[in-house]
Structure 1
Amino acid sequence: MTDPVDVIKYCPKCGSSEFYSDDKKSFTCGVCGFNFYVNSAAAVAALILNEKGELLLTRRALNPNKGMLDLPGGFVDPGEKVEDALIREIDEELNLEVTSLRYLVSWPNRYVFSGYTVFTIDLGFVCEVKTFDGIGFHDDISGFEFIAPHKIDNSQICSESIRQIIDFYRRDIGQK
Protein backbone atom coordinates (compact mmCIF):
# COMPACT_ATOMS: atom_id res chain seq x y z
CA MET A 1 0.00 0.00 0.00
CA THR A 2 3.02 2.31 -0.31
CA ASP A 3 3.58 1.95 -4.06
CA PRO A 4 3.04 5.18 -6.02
CA VAL A 5 -0.10 3.75 -7.68
CA ASP A 6 -1.64 3.35 -4.20
CA VAL A 7 -0.55 6.76 -2.87
CA ILE A 8 -0.68 9.26 -5.75
CA LYS A 9 -4.32 10.21 -6.34
CA TYR A 10 -4.21 13.74 -7.78
CA CYS A 11 -2.48 15.35 -10.74
CA PRO A 12 0.49 17.41 -9.47
CA LYS A 13 -0.05 19.95 -12.26
CA CYS A 14 -3.80 20.74 -12.12
CA GLY A 15 -4.97 18.90 -8.97
CA SER A 16 -7.53 16.77 -10.80
CA SER A 17 -8.58 13.44 -9.32
CA GLU A 18 -8.72 12.04 -12.86
CA PHE A 19 -5.11 10.91 -12.56
CA TYR A 20 -4.70 7.33 -13.66
CA SER A 21 -1.84 4.87 -13.58
CA ASP A 22 -1.16 3.34 -16.97
CA ASP A 23 1.25 0.58 -15.96
CA LYS A 24 2.46 1.23 -12.36
CA LYS A 25 5.38 3.21 -13.85
CA SER A 26 3.47 6.16 -15.22
CA PHE A 27 0.35 8.25 -14.68
CA THR A 28 -1.74 10.40 -17.03
CA CYS A 29 -4.15 13.18 -16.11
CA GLY A 30 -7.56 12.88 -17.78
CA VAL A 31 -8.10 16.65 -17.52
CA CYS A 32 -4.85 18.40 -18.50
CA GLY A 33 -2.99 15.48 -20.12
CA PHE A 34 0.02 15.75 -17.78
CA ASN A 35 2.20 12.62 -17.78
CA PHE A 36 4.09 11.61 -14.64
CA TYR A 37 6.71 8.86 -14.63
CA VAL A 38 7.89 6.91 -11.60
CA ASN A 39 11.68 6.73 -11.91
CA SER A 40 14.49 5.49 -9.70
CA ALA A 41 16.28 7.94 -7.45
CA ALA A 42 20.06 7.59 -7.34
CA ALA A 43 21.74 6.80 -4.03
CA VAL A 44 25.40 6.13 -3.18
CA ALA A 45 27.02 3.74 -0.71
CA ALA A 46 30.67 3.64 0.33
CA LEU A 47 32.73 0.58 1.21
CA ILE A 48 35.59 1.96 3.31
CA LEU A 49 38.18 -0.29 4.95
CA ASN A 50 40.48 0.47 7.85
CA GLU A 51 44.12 -0.67 8.08
CA LYS A 52 42.97 -4.07 9.49
CA GLY A 53 40.76 -4.73 6.44
CA GLU A 54 37.55 -4.15 8.41
CA LEU A 55 34.57 -2.53 6.70
CA LEU A 56 33.14 0.72 8.08
CA LEU A 57 29.43 0.29 8.79
CA THR A 58 27.05 2.86 10.23
CA ARG A 59 23.93 2.53 12.40
CA ARG A 60 20.77 4.14 11.08
CA ALA A 61 19.42 6.87 13.39
CA LEU A 62 16.07 7.10 11.60
CA ASN A 63 13.48 4.87 10.04
CA PRO A 64 13.27 2.99 7.84
CA ASN A 65 15.22 0.31 9.72
CA LYS A 66 16.40 2.48 12.59
CA GLY A 67 19.30 0.89 14.48
CA MET A 68 20.31 -1.49 11.70
CA LEU A 69 23.68 -1.58 9.96
CA ASP A 70 24.17 0.38 6.75
CA LEU A 71 26.95 1.56 4.49
CA PRO A 72 27.71 5.27 4.70
CA GLY A 73 26.10 7.24 1.88
CA GLY A 74 22.79 8.69 0.82
CA PHE A 75 20.75 10.24 -1.96
CA VAL A 76 22.20 12.12 -4.91
CA ASP A 77 20.90 15.69 -5.03
CA PRO A 78 19.34 17.00 -8.26
CA GLY A 79 22.09 18.19 -10.62
CA GLU A 80 24.83 16.50 -8.56
CA LYS A 81 27.33 13.95 -9.90
CA VAL A 82 27.22 10.62 -8.04
CA GLU A 83 30.92 10.93 -7.18
CA ASP A 84 30.34 14.36 -5.64
CA ALA A 85 27.33 13.01 -3.72
CA LEU A 86 29.46 10.23 -2.26
CA ILE A 87 32.20 12.64 -1.18
CA ARG A 88 29.59 15.00 0.35
CA GLU A 89 27.73 12.24 2.19
CA ILE A 90 30.91 10.76 3.72
CA ASP A 91 31.92 14.21 4.94
CA GLU A 92 28.43 15.01 6.30
CA GLU A 93 27.91 11.68 8.05
CA LEU A 94 31.40 10.80 9.28
CA ASN A 95 33.65 13.86 8.89
CA LEU A 96 35.94 11.86 6.57
CA GLU A 97 37.73 13.06 3.44
CA VAL A 98 37.50 10.64 0.49
CA THR A 99 40.81 10.50 -1.41
CA SER A 100 39.88 7.87 -4.01
CA LEU A 101 36.84 5.97 -5.14
CA ARG A 102 36.15 3.11 -7.53
CA TYR A 103 32.73 2.10 -8.77
CA LEU A 104 31.87 -1.46 -7.76
CA VAL A 105 28.24 -2.40 -8.45
CA SER A 106 24.65 -1.13 -8.37
CA TRP A 107 21.52 -2.71 -6.96
CA PRO A 108 17.85 -1.64 -7.08
CA ASN A 109 16.03 -0.92 -3.84
CA ARG A 110 12.57 -0.02 -2.54
CA TYR A 111 12.97 2.70 0.09
CA VAL A 112 9.71 3.26 1.99
CA PHE A 113 9.61 6.67 3.64
CA SER A 114 6.58 8.57 4.95
CA GLY A 115 4.24 5.88 3.65
CA TYR A 116 5.56 6.15 0.09
CA THR A 117 7.83 3.80 -1.85
CA VAL A 118 10.78 5.54 -3.46
CA PHE A 119 12.45 3.29 -5.99
CA THR A 120 16.21 3.77 -5.85
CA ILE A 121 19.28 2.53 -7.62
CA ASP A 122 22.02 2.18 -5.02
CA LEU A 123 25.52 2.64 -6.45
CA GLY A 124 28.32 1.02 -4.44
CA PHE A 125 31.86 2.46 -4.45
CA VAL A 126 35.06 1.21 -2.82
CA CYS A 127 36.65 4.26 -1.21
CA GLU A 128 39.79 5.31 0.56
CA VAL A 129 39.89 8.14 3.06
CA LYS A 130 42.74 10.44 4.04
CA THR A 131 42.65 9.46 7.73
CA PHE A 132 40.23 8.17 10.34
CA ASP A 133 41.41 10.88 12.77
CA GLY A 134 38.42 13.06 13.57
CA ILE A 135 35.82 10.46 12.57
CA GLY A 136 32.45 11.14 14.15
CA PHE A 137 28.82 10.44 13.41
CA HIS A 138 26.38 13.11 12.32
CA ASP A 139 23.38 13.63 10.09
CA ASP A 140 21.17 10.52 9.96
CA ILE A 141 23.47 7.97 11.63
CA SER A 142 23.65 7.10 15.32
CA GLY A 143 27.05 5.42 15.33
CA PHE A 144 29.62 3.44 13.38
CA GLU A 145 31.68 0.30 13.73
CA PHE A 146 34.34 -1.62 11.85
CA ILE A 147 33.61 -5.29 11.10
CA ALA A 148 35.66 -7.81 9.11
CA PRO A 149 33.72 -8.42 5.86
CA HIS A 150 33.37 -12.17 6.50
CA LYS A 151 31.97 -11.54 10.01
CA ILE A 152 29.12 -9.23 9.00
CA ASP A 153 25.72 -10.62 10.02
CA ASN A 154 23.51 -10.09 6.97
CA SER A 155 20.36 -10.17 9.14
CA GLN A 156 21.56 -6.89 10.71
CA ILE A 157 21.93 -5.08 7.36
CA CYS A 158 19.20 -2.49 6.73
CA SER A 159 18.20 -3.38 3.14
CA GLU A 160 18.48 -5.99 0.45
CA SER A 161 20.40 -3.63 -1.84
CA ILE A 162 23.08 -2.95 0.81
CA ARG A 163 23.31 -6.70 1.54
CA GLN A 164 23.81 -7.36 -2.16
CA ILE A 165 26.49 -4.65 -2.48
CA ILE A 166 28.38 -6.07 0.51
CA ASP A 167 28.02 -9.65 -0.79
CA PHE A 168 29.30 -8.57 -4.20
CA TYR A 169 32.28 -6.91 -2.50
CA ARG A 170 33.01 -10.05 -0.48
CA ARG A 171 32.99 -12.13 -3.69
CA ASP A 172 35.13 -9.47 -5.41
CA ILE A 173 37.84 -9.78 -2.73
CA GLY A 174 37.43 -13.55 -2.33
CA GLN A 175 35.65 -13.62 1.07
CA LYS A 176 32.26 -15.16 1.76
Structure 2
Amino acid sequence: MSPTNPEKVIRFCPKCGNPEFIYQTDNSFLCTQCKFHLYVNSAAAVAALIVNDKGEILLTRRAVEPQKGMLDLPGGFVDVMETVETALGREIKEELNLEIEESKYFMSYPNEYVFGGISVFTIDLAYICAIKSFNKIDAKDDISSFEFYRPEEIPFNDIGGTSMKAILKAFIKYIQV
Protein backbone atom coordinates (compact mmCIF):
# COMPACT_ATOMS: atom_id res chain seq x y z
CA MET A 1 0.00 0.00 0.00
CA SER A 2 1.31 3.40 -1.00
CA PRO A 3 2.36 5.78 1.81
CA THR A 4 0.01 8.34 0.19
CA ASN A 5 -3.06 6.09 0.51
CA PRO A 6 -5.73 7.84 2.63
CA GLU A 7 -5.52 5.00 5.18
CA LYS A 8 -1.89 6.01 5.84
CA VAL A 9 -2.46 9.78 5.81
CA ILE A 10 -5.83 10.60 7.38
CA ARG A 11 -5.51 10.53 11.17
CA PHE A 12 -8.27 12.67 12.73
CA CYS A 13 -12.03 12.86 12.40
CA PRO A 14 -12.81 15.99 10.33
CA LYS A 15 -16.05 16.49 12.28
CA CYS A 16 -14.92 16.31 15.93
CA GLY A 17 -11.10 16.04 15.74
CA ASN A 18 -10.96 12.67 17.49
CA PRO A 19 -7.67 10.84 16.80
CA GLU A 20 -9.50 7.50 16.77
CA PHE A 21 -10.70 7.77 13.18
CA ILE A 22 -10.47 4.13 12.15
CA TYR A 23 -10.07 2.88 8.59
CA GLN A 24 -12.71 0.27 7.65
CA THR A 25 -12.47 -2.56 5.11
CA ASP A 26 -15.14 -0.89 2.89
CA ASN A 27 -12.80 2.00 2.00
CA SER A 28 -14.15 4.31 4.66
CA PHE A 29 -13.24 5.79 8.05
CA LEU A 30 -15.37 5.65 11.20
CA CYS A 31 -14.96 7.93 14.21
CA THR A 32 -15.10 6.05 17.51
CA GLN A 33 -16.38 9.18 19.28
CA CYS A 34 -19.02 10.96 17.15
CA LYS A 35 -19.62 7.98 14.78
CA PHE A 36 -18.97 10.16 11.70
CA HIS A 37 -18.53 7.87 8.69
CA LEU A 38 -16.38 9.11 5.80
CA TYR A 39 -16.12 7.16 2.55
CA VAL A 40 -13.13 7.43 0.21
CA ASN A 41 -14.78 7.81 -3.21
CA SER A 42 -13.49 8.62 -6.66
CA ALA A 43 -13.42 12.24 -7.78
CA ALA A 44 -14.64 12.96 -11.30
CA ALA A 45 -12.16 14.36 -13.83
CA VAL A 46 -12.41 15.08 -17.55
CA ALA A 47 -9.96 14.62 -20.40
CA ALA A 48 -10.29 15.93 -23.95
CA LEU A 49 -9.25 13.98 -27.03
CA ILE A 50 -8.66 16.68 -29.62
CA VAL A 51 -7.45 16.00 -33.17
CA ASN A 52 -6.45 18.72 -35.64
CA ASP A 53 -7.03 18.76 -39.42
CA LYS A 54 -3.74 16.88 -39.95
CA GLY A 55 -4.91 13.96 -37.79
CA GLU A 56 -2.56 14.90 -34.94
CA ILE A 57 -3.58 14.50 -31.29
CA LEU A 58 -3.25 17.47 -28.93
CA LEU A 59 -1.26 16.84 -25.74
CA THR A 60 -0.26 19.32 -23.06
CA ARG A 61 2.76 19.63 -20.74
CA ARG A 62 2.05 19.92 -17.04
CA ALA A 63 3.35 23.17 -15.50
CA VAL A 64 2.77 22.03 -11.91
CA GLU A 65 3.11 18.97 -9.72
CA PRO A 66 2.15 16.24 -9.73
CA GLN A 67 4.09 15.06 -12.78
CA LYS A 68 5.37 18.52 -13.69
CA GLY A 69 6.87 18.53 -17.20
CA MET A 70 5.12 15.33 -18.27
CA LEU A 71 2.69 15.06 -21.18
CA ASP A 72 -1.02 14.89 -20.42
CA LEU A 73 -4.40 15.16 -22.06
CA PRO A 74 -6.03 18.55 -21.49
CA GLY A 75 -8.68 18.54 -18.79
CA GLY A 76 -9.06 18.50 -15.04
CA PHE A 77 -11.34 18.00 -12.07
CA VAL A 78 -15.09 18.47 -12.13
CA ASP A 79 -16.01 21.18 -9.61
CA VAL A 80 -18.64 20.66 -6.93
CA MET A 81 -22.17 20.92 -8.42
CA GLU A 82 -20.78 21.21 -11.97
CA THR A 83 -21.78 18.93 -14.83
CA VAL A 84 -19.11 16.91 -16.57
CA GLU A 85 -19.88 18.70 -19.84
CA THR A 86 -19.51 22.13 -18.23
CA ALA A 87 -16.22 21.06 -16.62
CA LEU A 88 -14.92 19.85 -19.98
CA GLY A 89 -15.64 23.19 -21.66
CA ARG A 90 -14.32 25.20 -18.71
CA GLU A 91 -11.06 23.24 -18.48
CA ILE A 92 -10.33 23.46 -22.20
CA LYS A 93 -11.03 27.21 -22.17
CA GLU A 94 -8.87 27.73 -19.03
CA GLU A 95 -5.94 25.63 -20.22
CA LEU A 96 -5.87 26.28 -23.98
CA ASN A 97 -8.24 29.18 -24.71
CA LEU A 98 -10.22 26.86 -27.00
CA GLU A 99 -13.97 26.46 -27.37
CA ILE A 100 -15.48 23.02 -27.83
CA GLU A 101 -17.94 22.88 -30.71
CA GLU A 102 -19.03 19.31 -30.08
CA SER A 103 -18.09 16.54 -27.66
CA LYS A 104 -18.82 12.83 -27.51
CA TYR A 105 -18.18 10.52 -24.57
CA PHE A 106 -15.42 8.01 -25.36
CA MET A 107 -14.48 6.04 -22.21
CA SER A 108 -13.49 6.22 -18.56
CA TYR A 109 -10.49 4.93 -16.67
CA PRO A 110 -9.62 4.97 -12.95
CA ASN A 111 -6.53 6.80 -11.74
CA GLU A 112 -4.55 7.58 -8.60
CA TYR A 113 -3.58 11.26 -8.48
CA VAL A 114 -1.13 12.05 -5.67
CA PHE A 115 -1.50 15.64 -4.51
CA GLY A 116 -0.17 17.17 -1.30
CA GLY A 117 1.03 13.80 -0.05
CA ILE A 118 -2.34 12.05 -0.31
CA SER A 119 -3.79 9.81 -3.01
CA VAL A 120 -6.88 11.24 -4.65
CA PHE A 121 -8.62 8.51 -6.58
CA THR A 122 -10.28 9.71 -9.76
CA ILE A 123 -12.45 8.38 -12.52
CA ASP A 124 -11.21 10.08 -15.66
CA LEU A 125 -13.95 10.60 -18.25
CA ALA A 126 -12.59 11.04 -21.77
CA TYR A 127 -14.45 12.90 -24.51
CA ILE A 128 -13.70 13.23 -28.20
CA CYS A 129 -13.90 16.97 -28.86
CA ALA A 130 -14.29 19.04 -32.00
CA ILE A 131 -12.84 22.53 -31.63
CA LYS A 132 -14.35 25.64 -33.27
CA SER A 133 -10.93 27.09 -34.17
CA PHE A 134 -7.30 26.64 -33.15
CA ASN A 135 -6.50 30.29 -34.04
CA LYS A 136 -6.33 31.52 -30.43
CA ILE A 137 -4.77 28.43 -28.82
CA ASP A 138 -2.55 29.41 -25.90
CA ALA A 139 -1.04 27.47 -22.97
CA LYS A 140 -2.50 28.79 -19.71
CA ASP A 141 -3.49 27.78 -16.18
CA ASP A 142 -1.63 24.62 -15.12
CA ILE A 143 -0.05 23.72 -18.47
CA SER A 144 3.26 25.07 -19.77
CA SER A 145 2.83 24.15 -23.44
CA PHE A 146 0.87 22.13 -25.95
CA GLU A 147 2.09 19.79 -28.66
CA PHE A 148 0.45 17.93 -31.54
CA TYR A 149 1.52 14.34 -32.26
CA ARG A 150 0.75 11.91 -35.02
CA PRO A 151 -0.78 8.88 -33.30
CA GLU A 152 2.17 6.61 -34.13
CA GLU A 153 4.67 9.16 -32.73
CA ILE A 154 3.21 9.74 -29.26
CA PRO A 155 6.03 9.35 -26.70
CA PHE A 156 4.13 7.20 -24.17
CA ASN A 157 7.09 7.22 -21.75
CA ASP A 158 6.64 10.99 -21.40
CA ILE A 159 2.97 10.69 -20.39
CA GLY A 160 2.56 10.91 -16.63
CA GLY A 161 -0.83 9.44 -15.85
CA THR A 162 -1.63 5.75 -16.15
CA SER A 163 -5.19 6.60 -17.11
CA MET A 164 -4.06 9.04 -19.82
CA LYS A 165 -1.84 6.35 -21.39
CA ALA A 166 -4.70 3.85 -21.38
CA ILE A 167 -7.17 6.35 -22.82
CA LEU A 168 -4.75 7.41 -25.57
CA LYS A 169 -3.95 3.82 -26.54
CA ALA A 170 -7.68 2.99 -26.77
CA PHE A 171 -8.32 6.18 -28.76
CA ILE A 172 -5.54 5.40 -31.24
CA LYS A 173 -7.04 1.93 -31.84
CA TYR A 174 -10.46 3.54 -32.25
CA ILE A 175 -9.34 6.09 -34.89
CA GLN A 176 -7.27 3.55 -36.81
CA VAL A 177 -10.21 1.20 -37.39
TM-score class, shorter: over 0.9
Which residue, out of 62, 65, 77, partners 2:64?
A: 62
Q: Which amino acid in 2 is paired with 1:96?
A: L
Change (3 A) 1:160 1:9: same
Superposition map of 1:1-176 within 5 A: 1-23=3-25, 25-174=27-176
1:14-67 Cα offsets, whole Å, 9 max, x none, are 000111001161000000000000000000000101110000100000111111
TM-score, normalisation: structure 1: 0.98
- The TM-score, its normalising length taken from structure 2, stands at 0.97
> Cα RMSD (Å) of the superposition?
0.9
Amino acid at match of 1:126: I
Gaps of 5+ in 2: none
Contact 1:5 1:24 survives alignment (8 Å):
no
Distance, in Å, in 2 between the alignment partners of 1:24 and 1:3 is 14
SS at match of 1:39: coil
Q: Indicate if the aligned counterparts of 1:39 and 1:119 stay in contact, CA closer than 8 A.
A: yes
Whole-Å separation in 1 of the counterparts to 2:115 and 2:24: 23
Partners of 2:147 and 2:172 in 1: how far apart? 18
What is the CA–CA distance in structure 2 between the aligned matches of 1:153 and 1:140, rounded to whole Å? 21
SS state at 1:27 partner: strand
Residue aligned with 2:129, SS: strand
Question: 1:67 and 1:47 mapped to 2: Cα distance?
Answer: 19
Identical pairs, percent: 55
Letter in 1 for 2:57: L
What is the number of residues matched between the two proteins? 175
Q: Give the 3-state SS of the residue equivalent to 2:88 in structure 1.
A: helix
Shift >4 Å, 4+ stretches: none
Paired letter, 1:165: I
